[in-house]
Chain A
Amino acid sequence: MTLEQWTEIAKIDKEQGSIHYNSEVLYILTDVDVDELDIEELSEMINQCKWATSEPSSQWRREVEGMIFKPLNKLTLYEYIDLNYFFNDNYLINLPYICAILYRQTKENEWGEVVWEPYEYDCKIRAERLMDVPITDVYGVIREFLKFREQFLTTYTNLFEDPLPPEPAEGYDDEEDDPDTEPEKDTSKWSWELLIYNLCNGDLSKSDAIGGLPLYYVFNMLGMKKELDI
Chain B
Amino acid sequence: MIKILDREIPNLITELTVEQFEKLTDFNSDTTLDPIERHLKIFEYLGIPENEFNDVDVENFIDIIRQFNEHPNMTYPTVDTLEHEGYTYKAEMKMTVRDSKLIEKYSIGKEKGYISNILAVFFKRQDLGPVEHYTDAHIKHKSKFLAKLPASICIPYISFISEKIRAQATPKLEGGDTGAVDGDSEN
A25 vs B172: C-alpha distance in the bound complex, in angstroms? 11
B94 interface contact, C-beta 8 A: yes
B168 interface contact, C-beta 8 A: yes
A38 vs B107: C-alpha distance in the bound complex, in angstroms? 19
Residues of chain A lying within 8 A (CB to CB) of residue B77: none
Residues of chain B lying within 8 A (CB to CB) of residue A10: 183
A221 vs B97: C-alpha distance in the bound complex, in angstroms? 59
A40 vs B163: C-alpha distance in the bound complex, in angstroms? 12
Q: Which residues of chain A (28-61) have a CB below 8 Å from chain B?
A: 34-43, 46-47, 49-50, 52-55
A53 vs B105: C-alpha distance in the bound complex, in angstroms? 22
A90 vs B99: C-alpha distance in the bound complex, in angstroms? 31
B60 interface contact, C-beta 8 A: no
Q: Which residues of chain B (72-126) have a CB below 8 Å from chain A?
A: 94-101, 104-105, 107-108
Determine whether the beta carbon of B177 is less than 8 Å from that of A35.
Answer: no
A61 vs B173: C-alpha distance in the bound complex, in angstroms? 27
Determine whether the beta carbon of B185 is less than 8 Å from that of A87.
Answer: yes
Given known pairs A93-B183, A146-B185, the reply for A54 and B97 (CB within 8 Å) is no
In the complex, which of the residues A20, A35, A54, A84 contacts B104, with contact meaning CB atoms closer than 8 Å?
A20
Residues of chain A lying within 8 A (CB to CB) of residue B171: 43, 46-47, 50
Determine whether the beta carbon of A34 is less than 8 Å from that of B97.
Answer: yes
| Mask of B43-84 contacts with A, CB within 8 angstroms, 1/0 | 000000000000000000000000000000000000000000
In the complex, what's the smallest C-beta–C-beta distance from A53 to chain B, in angstroms? 5
A64 interface contact, C-beta 8 A: no
Determine whether the beta carbon of B97 is less than 8 Å from that of A88.
Answer: no
A40 vs B107: C-alpha distance in the bound complex, in angstroms? 20
A30 vs B20: C-alpha distance in the bound complex, in angstroms? 43
B34 interface contact, C-beta 8 A: no
Given known pairs A14-B174, A18-B175, A87-B185, the reply for A39 and B95 (CB within 8 Å) is yes
| Mask of A147-166 contacts with B, CB within 8 angstroms, 1/0 | 00110010000000000000
Determine whether the beta carbon of B172 is less than 8 Å from that of A90.
Answer: no
A219 interface contact, C-beta 8 A: no
Q: Which residues of chain A (3-38) have a CB below 8 Å from chain B?
A: 10, 14-23, 25, 34-38
B135 interface contact, C-beta 8 A: no
B179 interface contact, C-beta 8 A: yes
Determine whether the beta carbon of A90 is less than 8 Å from that of B96.
Answer: no
Determine whether the beta carbon of B168 is less than 8 Å from that of A39.
Answer: yes
Determine whether the beta carbon of B174 is less than 8 Å from that of A18.
Answer: yes
A40 vs B94: C-alpha distance in the bound complex, in angstroms? 10
| Mask of A87-100 contacts with B, CB within 8 angstroms, 1/0 | 11011110000000
Residues of chain A lying within 8 A (CB to CB) of residue B167: 40, 43
Residues of chain B lying within 8 A (CB to CB) of residue A142: 181
Most A CB contacts (10 A, CB to CB) among B130, B164, B168, B185 go to B185
Determine whether the beta carbon of A37 is less than 8 Å from that of B173.
Answer: no
Which chain A residue shows the least CB distance to B96?
A36
Given known pairs A17-B105, A18-B104, A19-B101, the reply for A88 and B187 (CB within 8 Å) is yes
* A binding-site residues for B, Cβ under 8 Å: 10, 14-23, 25, 34-43, 46-47, 49-50, 52-55, 84, 87-88, 90-93, 142, 146, 149-150, 153
Instruction: Give 10 nearest A-B pairs by CB, closest first.
Output: A92-B183, A17-B104, A35-B98, A18-B174, A21-B174, A55-B179, A90-B183, A19-B100, A39-B95, A53-B177
